Structure 1
Amino acid sequence: MPSYYDIIGDIHGHAEELVELLLELGYQRYGQGFRHADRMAIFVGDLIDRGPAITEVIQIARSMLDAGDARVVMGNHEFNAIAFHTAVPGSANQWFRERSEKNRKQHQATLDQLSTRELADAIAWFRTLPVAVELDGVRVVHAAWMEDGIDEINRSLDTFGRFTPEFLAEATRTPSELYKAVEDVLKGPELKLPAGHEIVDKSGHVRDTVRVKWYEQPAGRTYRGYHFGSDDVPDLAVHPSAVEGLVGYPPDAPPVLVGHYWLTGTPVPLAVNVACTDYSVAKNGKLVAYRWDGETALSAQKFHWVGKE
């Protein structure tokens, strides 16, 4: 098995950019997927929704996984799709992810592009995906490497089965430990803003919470300094009770690669051992990969991308 990996960010149905990036990285067509002579791709999740070629993206990633040329971790969009298409037992027209206008709009491109059979097959495949992987000294997770949360999810998968209705019932029950774990690991820890403060996020939704820089120490931070993104948040001190359980990611821990955060600009590591590979390809940004060759300190020179400069 290769010990060097190319970690590829959120694709969201942009197969043209995916093919271009794989070819640039030295992969060649192999069946319905791609293969590199001595490297393996790791996809950070969010293969689906938004883009124009979702079926092809799933086909490439799944073929590469089946052939041993890639690993795939679950993103929040894959988890949401499972919940959206899993009925609550004993209920009429009730699903574990509410079929609201907002949720349907987010998932609409997938609904439009996949046939009923293709969709059922994709959901069955999504249920097999891990929420995190650690290979040869590198870690990959969709949003945040939270050790306790990953352990809670994996214990619950052992107890309830892989994203079964029983698992989803617990994962969508607030405030269960599994609910918090799924939110943290697949969507990133969030911090509730002080009373009376709201933001409008990148999707135009009004929110009273912000995603935080989970990899940094929260002590002594302000909401503006500790939040993740470019939203206008108050420059007020964060009370220690609001960040209980957030301790940062140790600088001597194995390097971790994530997606999820809709970054823009020129890719750079977030910390000495933390980097994000999501640079908003679904919003006319870049599809980014980080080429990991065993280093413990991540480097801006190891990012590769296609799309907008």
Structure 2
Amino acid sequence: MNELTRAYDLIGDIHGHAGKMEALLLAMGYMPSGRGYKAPEGRMAVFLGDLIDRGPQQLRVLEIARAMVESGDALSIMGNHEFNAIGYLTVHPKSPEGECYRPNRGSSAKCLKNRAQHAAFLEQVGEGSTQHHEWVRWFRSLPPFLDLGGLRAVHGCWDDEAVALLKQAGWMPGSVLSDELLAAAYEPSGRVRWARELLTCGLELPLSEGRYIVDKAGHRHDNVRVANWRHWAEEFHQLALVPKGQEEQLRGMEWPAELVISAIEGSPIFVGHHWFTGHPLIESPKLACLDWSAAADGPLVAYRWDGEQELSNNKLFWVRESRHAD
């Protein structure tokens, strides 16, 4: 069966909640097989990244995802949390202190923040263990995007220029993130870094002076994520992806001069990353965000794609309860 005729079940951010993951797979007809699950005939799962951090069963999530990838029952892309895990463990070759690409060995505010964000994963995997190193090696094999012909999948947001740039650099499906590419992905103001951040984290823009956003962890930010796929927006606050209750802080903010958006053309796009809340809905006939805060109290959401070029809400599928208690 070729890629254009295969049906896919795209699954949003799991963040270590294996109970919800297994409940969703079972509800969609996937059957336990070895360490993972066997896909229904003609279907394949696609994990949209952020398998780790936060949840209580991160090793089980990784075991299932990797087993399914290796058996041909799933594909997986890299989320920003998998990329951060690589940087957290890998020593920066130019650091005189032996610090990692993602600083965590000192006592600075940045180091403390990075350790706190990654603490649950480190506790469960065993920081510095053989198992820790092995999972980070596997993370390097996860591509930052997938173009499956009839659909496109990325963690943060799709951008044709960023995809082309990473392809040219040699970072694409079927390749492994090399040391050289990792260095380029952390190079300040580098093009590979720009592309990686855009694809795994989405578009972020600075806020007007005096405006700020407080994230779910209580950290203050002077930039904001932007839903640059909302081509119908007339005011900037309609694009801003902010925690619930902070929308009014952006009302009346001028449209950034550098921001140009247009309708999505070509195959539909699936993203995660953005912590949507409420009742799951597609964003448009050409884009669906499948992160509906499963790491908190939200559902784990999938889209059951069968070749359609216009998405619809009746193809969304989700579970709210775990197969077993977390």
Q: Which interval holds the TM-score relative to the shorter structure?
A: over 0.9
Alignment of 1:38-49 (within 5 A): 38-49=42-53
Q: How many angstroms apart in 1 are the aligned matches of 2:27 and 2:171?
A: 39
Does residue 166 in structure 1 map to residue 171 in structure 2? no
1:57 to 49, 61, 64: 61
Residue number in structure 2 paired with 1:34: 37
TM-score under structure 1 length normalisation: 0.92
Does residue 6 in structure 1 map to residue 1 in structure 2? no
What are the superposed Cα offsets for residues 38-78 of structure 1, whole Å, 9 maximum, x if unpaired? 21000000001111111111110000000000000000000
Q: How many angstroms apart in 1 are the aligned matches of 2:148 and 2:203?
A: 24
What are the superposed Cα offsets for residues 257-292 of structure 1, whole Å, 9 maximum, x if unpaired? 111011111111111110011111111211111111
Q: How many angstroms apart in 1 are the aligned matches of 2:149 and 2:193?
A: 30
In the TM superposition, residue 240 of structure 1 has moved relative to its aligned partner by 4.7
- Runs of 5+ unmatched residues, structure 2: 105-110, 322-326
Does residue 123 in structure 1 map to residue 136 in structure 2? yes
In the TM superposition, residue 129 of structure 1 has moved relative to its aligned partner by 0.9
In the TM superposition, residue 307 of structure 1 has moved relative to its aligned partner by 1.3
Residue number in structure 1 paired with 2:324: none
Residue number in structure 2 paired with 1:264: 277
1:236 to 228, 231, 252: 252
Q: How many angstroms apart in 2 are the aligned matches of 1:240 and 1:110?
A: 37
Q: Which residue identity does 2:9 align to in structure 1?
A: D
Does residue 186 in structure 1 map to residue 190 in structure 2? no
Q: How many angstroms apart in 1 are the aligned matches of 2:263 and 2:102?
A: 31
Residue number in structure 1 paired with 2:290: 277
In the TM superposition, residue 239 of structure 1 has moved relative to its aligned partner by 4.2
Change (3 A) 1:219 1:28: closer
8 Å contact kept, 2:277–2:298: yes
Does residue 84 in structure 1 map to residue 100 in structure 2? no
TM-score under structure 2 length normalisation: 0.88
Residue number in structure 2 paired with 1:306: 319
8 Å contact kept, 2:16–2:52: yes
Q: How many angstroms apart in 2 are the aligned matches of 1:163 and 1:220?
A: 39
In the TM superposition, residue 163 of structure 1 has moved relative to its aligned partner by 2.9
Q: How many angstroms apart in 2 are the aligned matches of 1:249 and 1:56?
A: 39
Change (3 A) 1:158 1:4: closer
Q: How many angstroms apart in 2 are the aligned matches of 1:119 and 1:207?
A: 31
Residue number in structure 1 paired with 2:119: 108
Residue number in structure 1 paired with 2:101: 96
Q: How many angstroms apart in 2 are the aligned matches of 1:63 and 1:209?
A: 38
User: How many residues are aligned here?
Assistant: 304
Does residue 68 in structure 1 map to residue 72 in structure 2? yes
In the TM superposition, residue 15 of structure 1 has moved relative to its aligned partner by 0.6
Does residue 15 in structure 1 map to residue 18 in structure 2? yes
Q: How many angstroms apart in 2 are the aligned matches of 1:169 and 1:94?
A: 14
Q: How many angstroms apart in 2 are the aligned matches of 1:271 and 1:202?
A: 26
In the TM superposition, residue 158 of structure 1 has moved relative to its aligned partner by 5.3
Alignment identity in percent?
A: 40
Residue number in structure 2 paired with 1:134: 147
Does residue 195 in structure 1 map to residue 198 in structure 2? no
SS of residue paired to 2:250: coil
Q: How many angstroms apart in 2 are the aligned matches of 1:218 and 1:162?
A: 38
Residue number in structure 1 paired with 2:107: none
Residue number in structure 1 paired with 2:226: 212
The list of structure 1 runs, each at least 4 consecutive aligned residues, that deviate by more than 4 angstroms after superposition, is: none
8 Å contact kept, 1:290–1:302: yes
Q: Which residue identity does 1:180 align to in structure 2?
A: W
Change (3 A) 1:107 1:298: same
What are the superposed Cα offsets for residues 75-98 of structure 1, whole Å, 9 maximum, x if unpaired? 000001011111111533311111
SS of residue paired to 1:260: coil
**Cα RMSD (Å):** 2.0
What are the superposed Cα offsets for residues 93-115 of structure 1, whole Å, 9 maximum, x if unpaired? 31111111111111111100113
